[in-house]
Amino acid sequence: MKILIDADGCPVVDIAINLGKKYNIKTVIMCDTSHIINKVGVKTVTLSKGSDSVDFALVNKVSKDDIIITQDYGLAAMVLSKGGYPINQNGLIYS
């Protein structure tokens, strides 16, 4: 299990990182080049800016039971099809 954060416009990156550390869950931040996010102890994957580039890269990294934090309904649907648990920034689970 890991936590993947769709960090483009995500207001809860720090909260997700702290929860990952608290429960010893690997956490990965994914964003495009229009955002610079560097957090200690967390891997950041920066992708080229493009239409849904982060979303498609993120869904390719999803494994069953991973937690994905996103505000994107389309990405949430793709995550569900792979057996992941997409949640939004308010903690609501997409279904």
Provide the sign of the torsion angle of the four alpha carbons 5, 75, 88, 86, taken in this order.
negative
**pLDDT means over runs of 10, the chain (95 residues):** 91 94 96 85 89 90 97 95 96 95
What is residue 78's predicted lDDT score, i.e. its pLDDT? 96
Q: State the pLDDT at residue 10.
A: 87
Distances (CA, A) of 79 to 12, 33, 52, 64, 66: 19, 23, 14, 9, 9
What pLDDT sits at residue 8? Answer: 80
Strands of the chain (E only): list them.
2-6, 26-32, 43-47, 67-69, 85-87
pLDDT of residue 12: 95
> What residue ranges define each of the domains in the chain, with the CATH number in brackets?
2-87 (3.40.50.1000)
Give this prediction's pTM: 0.92
pLDDT for residue 75? 94
